[in-house]
Amino acid sequence: MSQMGSTSPARTSRTATAGLGLALVAAALMLGGYVSVSTAGLNIEIGFMLFLAGVALGFIALAVSVVGLWRTRMASGRNRAWAGIIVSGLIIVPMAPQIMAAFSVPPIHDITTDTENPPKFVDILPLRADAPNTADYGGETVAELQKTAYPGIKPMILSAPPSEAFAKAQKIIDARGWTVAGEDADAGRIEATAVTKNMRFKDDVVIRITPEGDGSRIDMRSVSRFGQSDLGVNAKRITEFLKDMEASQIPPS
């Protein structure tokens, strides 16, 4: 019995060591995937899969580390368990908002103010030639999912004439740092690319400005080049842009 007792602490500390090891591997996968995607150093799909694998392994590492902390009585083993918990936490905690968003929004990445006649891309199409997501609109299925999740995404009517609205849209795009891919003042179309802050994903935007009485109608579409779900980013982009357009109106005297 004494022999079994003398080996038990070493055996239980292996769980803590395994948890820390998994956490370090998870961190390496996540960091490697992030760098690959954000710097375009690797195929975006492979890089993102590495990133997701790191996040998933982080959860496993956390569970193993917690078990190791519970089972281990040796100081060195407990220290390794705590290290595994901390490293896993550094992986999981920053991802919590994205994980929650993934379950709270529909799995779509194409949002528009006009689901019946979405603004079409022209100049940006060559830039999306190798993108995993097509620029073709997904039809009624996508439209219904959008209407349920984002009922406030609708066309905007401005009192300003189309030429003035076009100039205002240009200024807002410039202020947001989007890269303009093409402009057609006669058609009232502006196309640009926005880059997300975290993973540096590229989302494409097309704005359509048409006459509406004495004013203008503003339609907008924002489409991700990669990813089944945009985690609500495209809807937020449209909402914020239209708010800026509305705020730019000169109130009547």
Report if residue 242 sits inside a domain: yes
Q: Which helix (H) or strand (E) holds 207?
A: strand 202-212
Instruction: Give residue 31's pLDDT.
Output: 87
Report if residue 252 sits inside a domain: no
How much of the chain exceeds pLDDT 70, in percent? 91
115 and 195 housed in the same domain: yes
Q: Enter the pTM of the model.
A: 0.76
**203-233 pLDDT, tens digit each:** 999 999 999 999 999 999 999 998 888 889 9
- Residue-range definition of the domain harbouring residue 38: 2-104
Token readout for 138 is 């997904």
54 and 77 housed in the same domain: yes
Q: Which of 57, 81, 104 is the last residue of a domain?
A: 104
Angle at 118 between CA 160 and CA 37, to 5 degrees: 105
115 and 219 housed in the same domain: yes
Taking each helix axis as running N to C, give the angle between helix 75-92 and helix 44-71, from 0 to 180 degrees, rounded to the nearest 10.
Answer: 150
**75-97 pLDDT, tens digit each:** 888 888 899 999 999 988 888 88
Report if residue 176 sits inside a domain: yes
Taken as a whole, the chain contains a residue count of 253
Identify the band that residue 6 occupies on the pLDDT scale cut at 50, 70 and 90: very low
Per-residue CA distances from 148 to 152, 219, 225 (Å): 10, 19, 23
